[in-house]
Each structure stands twice: as structure tokens, then as C-alpha cells.
Amino acid sequence: MTRDCTVIRYNKNLQQTDAKLVELLQRFEHINLSDRSQWANTTIVFARHLYNMLQLSRVIAQGAAMRNESRGAHYKPEFPERDDKNWLKTTKASFAPDADEPKFEFEPVDISLIPPRPRRYDVTK
């Protein structure tokens, strides 16, 4: 995640990251939860958090791969411009109880009060 899902994003790397996350989720199915603590079994809590982090990481990687544009602090060299026509929307993800994949839906952004404008870092004030 740190290498491929940060500021600069390449679709090929995002897909490889998602494949690795799928592998980690498959390994998670065989996790060992032996805990020898005297008063609380924190291992179960940590394992539950790990599962949720892996699922959230898949949402981030797949959501980033879908957006073929550069927006805000995220930059895709293959798609250096913003694409308001196709991607001026909020990405929402959800999971069905029996699904292995996140389900994505998109919600339009209300720009009636503040019109969008490109970020420019090459202009001096």
C-alpha cells in the first residue's frame, strides 16, 4: 500500500496491490489465534482489525484504479488531467455479507455553491 497507493498511482501497480491483498485475505482464513495472556485475549481483537484493514485496503486500491484522472493530491502519470465530466463524484463502497469484492457506487458532487477549479502549484502568488 505504501509503495503503490500513495500520491503517484499507476493502474498496473494498483492491480498488483489488489492481487496481493487477495492473497493476504486467503492467508487470513488460516490465521492462528493462540494467545497466552493472563487477563484478556487481545489477539482476537487484533485479528479482527487486520481483516478490516485488508478489506479497506482493497477498497482504496480498487477505487484508485477506477479513477483514470489526477485529482487533488493524487496523480496518475497516464492521466495527468482532472476529468470532471466522468469523475466529479464521490466514490462509495460497500460489502454484501456473502461477497468477496467491494461494491462501488458513485454520487454526484453538489457544485452549486463552490464551482470546481484546478489546483495549480506552478503559479506564484
Q: What is the pLDDT of residue 114?
A: 92
CATH number of 25's domain? 1.20.58.100
What is the H or E stretch that residue 92 is in? Answer: strand 89-94
Does residue 121 have a pLDDT over 70? no
Alpha-carbon gap, residue 116 to 100, rounded angstroms: 35
Is 116 domain-assigned? no
Alpha-carbon gap, residue 33 to 112, rounded angstroms: 52
Q: What is the pLDDT of residue 49?
A: 95
Is 45 domain-assigned? yes
Does residue 125 have a pLDDT over 70? no
Q: What is the pLDDT of residue 43?
A: 85
Q: Domain of 58? A: 11-108
Neighbours of 70 (CB within 10 A): 20
Is 37 domain-assigned? yes
User: Which residue matches cell numbers 503503490?
Assistant: 4
What's the structural domain count of the chain?
1
